[in-house]
Amino acid sequence: MTKLLEWVFGVSVLGAAWAFVTFDILKMSIPRPYREVAWPMPLYLLVTFGCYSLATVGYRVATFNDCDDAAKELQAQIIEAREDLRKKGLKF
């Protein structure tokens, strides 16, 4: 069973459960508040996933660290490279 098939199977099972509850296919007489919660569920999961993505991006932006040593080393290497190229004849 490939990963794709597994995911498709899982999503169809959940989708079928949602459809049965929302459209009252088996006439199960679920109490009204539970049906009110069930029908926006796909959209709610999408909004939750969006919020989680936004929060993760925000958190990673806030905790992104500078690498001062690497920056200094890189600038020194740039100066070195410029000198080297100047010696070889390139005019800056």
Contact set with other proteins (CB under 8 A):
32-34, 36-37, 40, 43-44, 46-48, 51-52, 54-55, 57-64, 66, 68, 71, 74-75, 78, 81-82, 85, 90, 92
Distance from C-alpha of 61 to C-alpha of 30, rounded to nearest angstrom: 45
**Residue (6 or 40) nearer to other proteins, CB:** 40
Q: Nearest distance from residue 49's CB to other proteins, in Å? A: 10
* CA terminus-to-terminus distance, the chain: 62
**Residue (8 or 57) nearer to other proteins, CB:** 57
The answer to whether the beta carbons of residues 30 and 24 sit under 8 Å apart is: yes
DSSP state of 67: -
